Amino acid sequence: ETMQSLGRSYEIILVDDASSDGTAEEIRTWLANRQAGNSRAYFNETKRGRGATVAEGIRQARSAYVGCIDISLETPPQFIAAAVDQLQQDNADMVLGDRKTIRGLDAPLQLTIAKAYRRLASLLLETDSLDTASGFKFFRRDLILPVLDEFQDSHTLWDTELTVVARAKGLRTA
């Protein structure tokens, strides 16, 4: 709905990481009910990890600008237009979400952990207080693909490592 309201062309790529909770069937049902042909899904046979699934979606994308949003929607999709605008205007090569607020019952704890992690990453990895663990990231596809190719592991800290490696390779962040 957000993308349709923007009046821009887009595609939605869903990558299921061998879920066992019925998510794959939900995805298949959703795709079957879609009017537009701009949505695709990929289903991992075995769990590969978050980083591998995000990377797969980016590799499968056809657009010059690509991104991912965690299903938790910690950073709402209404910010997609602003992220893509930053990329199109050449103000940045990657745009990270910023979880200043988190909704839900466990929000206070999650927000405290997110802030502490941000400070720690900034001190140890010189990330300039960016929210590297945010599940909202958008990139210039041509510049992020070579960075993705360097990763063999899709461990828990994949988001932060991706940000640090991309910045080391000269990608500009907003």
The pLDDT score that the predictor gives to residue 75 is: 79
List per-residue pLDDT tens for the chain, 174 residues long: 888 888 888 999 999 999 999 999 999 999 998 877 889 999 999 998 888 888 999 999 999 999 998 877 777 888 899 999 999 999 999 999 877 655 655 677 777 877 888 788 888 888 887 887 788 899 999 999 999 988 766 676 788 888 888 999 999 998
Q: What's the gap between Cα 66 and its chain centre? A: 9
Start-to-end C-alpha separation, the chain: 25
Beta-bridge mates of residue 12: 39
Residue 65, judged by CB atoms within 10 A of its CB (0-12, 13-18, 19+), counts as buried
Using CA atoms, how far apart are residues 120 and 118, in angstroms rounded to an integer? 6
Please give the mean pLDDT across all residues of the chain: 86
Beta-bridge mates of residue 16: 43
The pLDDT score that the predictor gives to residue 153 is: 65
Ramachandran region of residue 22, left (φ > 0), alpha (ψ -120 to 50) or beta?
left
The pLDDT score that the predictor gives to residue 92 is: 95
pTM, rounded to two decimals:
0.83
Angle between helices 50-60 and 158-168 (to 10 degrees): 50
